[in-house]
Structure 1
Amino acid sequence: MMVDEVMNEVTSVAPPRRVLLVSAGASHSVALLSGNVVCSWGRGEDGQLGHGDSGDRLLPTRLSALDGKDIVSLKCGADHTIACSDSGREVYSWGWGDFGRLGHGDYSDLLIPHPIRSFQSLRIKQIACGDSHCLAVTMENEVLSWGRNQNGQLGLGTTEDAPLPQKIQTFQGVPIKMVAAGAEHSAAITEDGDSYGWGWGRYGNLGLGDRNDRLIPVKVTVDGEKMAMVACGWRHTISVSSSGRIYTHGWGKYGQLGHGDFEDYLVPHKIQALSAHFISQVAGGWRHSMALTSSGLLFGWGWNKCGQIGVGDNCDRSSPMQVNFPHEEKIVQISCGWRHNIAVTECENVYSWGRGANGQLGHGETVDRNVPVIIEALSVNGSCGQHIESSKAHPVSGKSSVSLSEIFAVVPDEAAKGQASNPDRGDKLDASVPESDVN
């Protein structure tokens, strides 16, 4: 073979794709790769993977329905997913449609991505997905919400669900920097550093000093500090000040607040154990929390039954524990699902750990991991050469013929005792029973 031919072969090899964004839901995961490639994997029972069916995927699988859509943002709800295009004017949603969480004006499940028509004339800056509701911030500083609203988590002054995006009037004229959504509560940070909470407040997760619900956003006092970012766990809230200090409040039964105890906190309380670190990113899971420092160190705490803290065992932690990675790789991005996590490193590798029962870890298996394990298909150092599975969407509308929400209908305040024995319904019961304590 001539030298020129060899050089042509070498230069024709496509460079490895970089993972730009990751997001984790209740039992599924998504990633945005360079070259405008979107992948999803894990539980697909409600169509949340977007592949046109309800099957699980154990490996990252290309979501071909979004090819060529210039996606720049991805967010997982518990059992649904939302993607935004480059212009911010195209917002797609798919998955479980109960309570109107997909924003299409109905309660249908969608097995492939569909554009939300209400956003076609708007430019979207940020979207947050909770269990059954969503929030969006526009470039024009309007905040919209939709989905389930039984505790006022939409901030509209009512407890009626909203299957179409609605403006939160409290924020008219208030420049919002970011929003966050939990199971039944919401939070926001303004450009001026003010913090707001609303929705279900029974565990103090609104940070307002009591256990009352709020139907509209109410300002939170955070130790006199200006806040820079916020994240919600299922029933707790994590915020970071402009000085890099981290505060938590809400449900603390499993140590998810990081204060060295298992108590609820009704107002934001600084995590003293992380005072020496500047926190650059935070994420909340079902009963655990993660914090990333500006130096690339990752800390986790809270419920650890599935190994989601990532420290090599399954013991709960009430104080932050450092999560170690091979070769001391620095972390640049973290996302918490309900019981699993995904992290991206500075070296462009992707790791996951925690619950793996539905393949949400992306390792091609259905086992839990209590330390970070590389996702071969998405990592520069992966041994399989970044081979990403392909999956064509079903060539129909993407709507299920029978509403999955009818199949799994659960009375929200009914005790779940004995019902979670069905492994196929465990996650949905967790989402639908606010008063329960399902393990």
Structure 2
Amino acid sequence: MAEESMSEVTNPVRQVLLISAGASHSVALLSGNIVCSWGRGEDGQLGHGDAHDRLLPTQLSSLDDLEIVSVTCGADHTTAYSLSHVEVYSWGWGDFGRLGHGNSSDLFTPQPIKALHGLKIKQIACGDSHCLAVTVDGEVQSWGRNQNGQLGLGTTEDSLVPQKIQAFQGVSIKMVAAGAEHTAAVTEDGELYGWGWGRYGNLGLGDRNDRLVPEKVSAVDVCENMDVKMVTVACGWRHTISVSSSGGLYTYGWSKYGQLGHGDFKDHLIPHKLEALHDNHISQISGGWRHTMAITSDGKLYGWGWNKFGQVGAGDNIDHCSPVQVKFPQEQKVVQISCGWRHSLAVTEKQNVFSWGRGTNGQLGHGESVDRNIPKIIESLSVDGSSGQQIESSNVDPSSGKTWVSPSERYAVVPDETVQGQASVSVSGNGNDASVPENEVKRVRM
């Protein structure tokens, strides 16, 4: 037993290629095309074929042979892309068609989105309940919830399958970002677009109106006399962050919790430069539910905004309306960041993965359900972890595991009748039934 353990520990180190945080779950892509997920599993967003939470990173075995090259969390669903199979896979909460499979059923194991089969994808963005995919040709497909026009299709009808955004005909899109009910995009020429829900100015268009199709952001608050070209964009729940070609950071939208970082709690209706980080070149950004994180070109991480659960990582639980630096052991430089709703993930150049913030569903990956207000290493994903990167596997057989779960099956709650205790509904699969708690009705957007 001791020799076997030693052999496992000395296996080649897996490199963490990508991390992504959702509302209450997390995913990581490791070298060798290994996908791990952990945290809340009640809606199937972990992809392990059941509704259980995972307190530690668990290998998503059903994706092992698909050569996955990217993973992205939505609030309560997840997507992955296989370049060799030219397929986008999705799983988790299916309401409003956010999984893209033509229905609103929940899915507990990854399944390919038929409408995207054969499309070469360079980026996927997932919001609260809608998704977008950018093809290598710069076209954009969108699907899911659309009550405020966040799909950019010119309507307010939900789309159960991906549809091409026709408004971008002749415009090559570099990347997209999805918030709760709004969307942003950057073109290959550095132009910024916004559409969807705009009540807090989060579209950057100078007003608080919704847009059903993408509209170009034409005004930017800048000190210097020059045309600002944007290179990247990210969305929080109701705010937006972008970075210019010169490394300047701009934020706009909702600022009730200081998530714009301008030292106050004032909404901004057009992109406003973050003067507090004026001397820094920003290399990466991420937006959480009500907090924001940014990495500088020299590997420093800054956070600001809502901090009730310590998700800013500053060592306290006080909201911050200006950037504060997040400290790491041995002053490790940060190379990747992802904000969830109430937690944050980071990868350092030493190939260590850290997490902090809300931990009630195990989304921090520490094997416990404890909140943290400073970064704590995820042992099983890190070079410096004492567990030697030992990762459990879900060992789910997709051919026999649970697949579709319709909303009527999932939540058969009698109207005007309170469900007591931990009653369960037996959910039919393909020979492998599972009990799913029926007492927690779908969460209502706050």
Normalising by structure 2, we get a TM-score of 0.89
Please point out which of 344, 366, 371 is paired with 1:368.
Answer: 371
Percent identity over the alignment? 70
Please point out which of 249, 260, 263 is paired with 1:260.
Answer: 263
Q: What residue number does 1:400 align with?
A: 405
Please point out which of 245, 250, 254 is paired with 1:251.
Answer: 254
Q: Distance in 1 between matches of 2:79 and 2:374?
A: 28
Please point out which of 174, 198, 204 is paired with 2:201.
Answer: 204
**Equivalent residue of 2:276, what SS?**
helix
2:346 is the alignment partner of 1:321: no
Q: Distance in 1 between matches of 2:86 and 2:414?
A: 33
Q: Distance in 2 between matches of 1:136 and 1:405?
A: 28
Q: Distance in 2 between matches of 1:62 and 1:11?
A: 16
Amino acid in the other structure paired with 2:385: G
Q: Distance in 1 between matches of 2:395 and 2:203?
A: 42
**1:364–1:173 CA distance, 2 compared to 1 (3 A):** same
Post-superposition Cα deviations, 1:213-272, rounded to whole Å, max 9, x if no partner, equal 000000002343000000000000000000000000000000000000011111110000
Q: What residue number does 2:429 align with?
A: none
**Equivalent residue of 1:163, what SS?**
strand
- Give 1:372-391 correspondences, 5 Å limit: 372-391=375-394
Amino acid in the other structure paired with 2:241: I
Please point out which of 47, 62, 66 is paired with 1:65.
Answer: 62
Shift of 1:86: 2.2
**Equivalent residue of 1:273, what SS?**
helix
Q: What residue number does 1:117 align with?
A: 114
Amino acid in the other structure paired with 1:186: T
Q: What residue number does 2:146 align with?
A: 149
Q: Distance in 2 between matches of 1:13 and 1:367?
A: 30
**Equivalent residue of 2:18, what SS?**
strand
**1:220–1:409 CA distance, 2 compared to 1 (3 A):** farther
Shift of 1:135: 0.6
Q: What residue number does 1:340 align with?
A: 343
Please point out which of 51, 61, 86 is paired with 2:83.
Answer: 86
**1:235–1:72 CA distance, 2 compared to 1 (3 A):** same
**1:165–1:401 CA distance, 2 compared to 1 (3 A):** closer
Q: What residue number does 1:231 align with?
A: 234
Amino acid in the other structure paired with 1:47: G
- Give 1:411-426 correspondences, 5 Å limit: none
Q: What residue number does 1:96 align with?
A: 93
Q: Distance in 1 between matches of 2:345 and 2:137?
A: 32
1:109·1:403 contact (CA, 8 Å) conserved in 2?
Answer: no
Amino acid in the other structure paired with 1:340: H
Q: What residue number does 2:359 align with?
A: 356
Q: What residue number does 2:291 align with?
A: 288
Shift of 1:172: 1.2
Please point out which of 26, 41, 44 is paired with 2:41.
Answer: 44
Q: Distance in 1 between matches of 2:196 and 2:291?
A: 20
Please point out which of 275, 299, 303 is paired with 1:300.
Answer: 303
**1:373–1:145 CA distance, 2 compared to 1 (3 A):** same
Q: Distance in 1 between matches of 2:280 and 2:128?
A: 30
Report the number of matched residues.
Answer: 411
Normalising by structure 1, we get a TM-score of 0.90
**1:397–1:261 CA distance, 2 compared to 1 (3 A):** same
Q: Distance in 1 between matches of 2:138 and 2:315?
A: 43
Q: Distance in 2 between matches of 1:138 and 1:88?
A: 15
Shift of 1:10: 7.9
Please point out which of 54, 59, 65 is paired with 2:51.
Answer: 54
**1:285–1:173 CA distance, 2 compared to 1 (3 A):** same
Q: What residue number does 1:166 align with?
A: 163
Q: What residue number does 2:31 align with?
A: 34
Q: Distance in 2 between matches of 1:12 and 1:202?
A: 52
Amino acid in the other structure paired with 2:155: T
Q: CA RMSD in A?
A: 2.1
Please point out which of 176, 194, 216 is paired with 2:213.
Answer: 216
Post-superposition Cα deviations, 1:339-382, rounded to whole Å, max 9, x if no partner, equal 00100000000000000000000000001000000000000000
2:47·2:109 contact (CA, 8 Å) conserved in 1?
Answer: yes
1:88·1:123 contact (CA, 8 Å) conserved in 2?
Answer: no
**1:68–1:369 CA distance, 2 compared to 1 (3 A):** same
**1:155–1:399 CA distance, 2 compared to 1 (3 A):** same
1:109·1:404 contact (CA, 8 Å) conserved in 2?
Answer: no
Q: Select between 220-229 and 62-71 the one with higher mean Cα deviation.
A: 220-229
Q: Distance in 2 between matches of 1:138 and 1:338?
A: 27
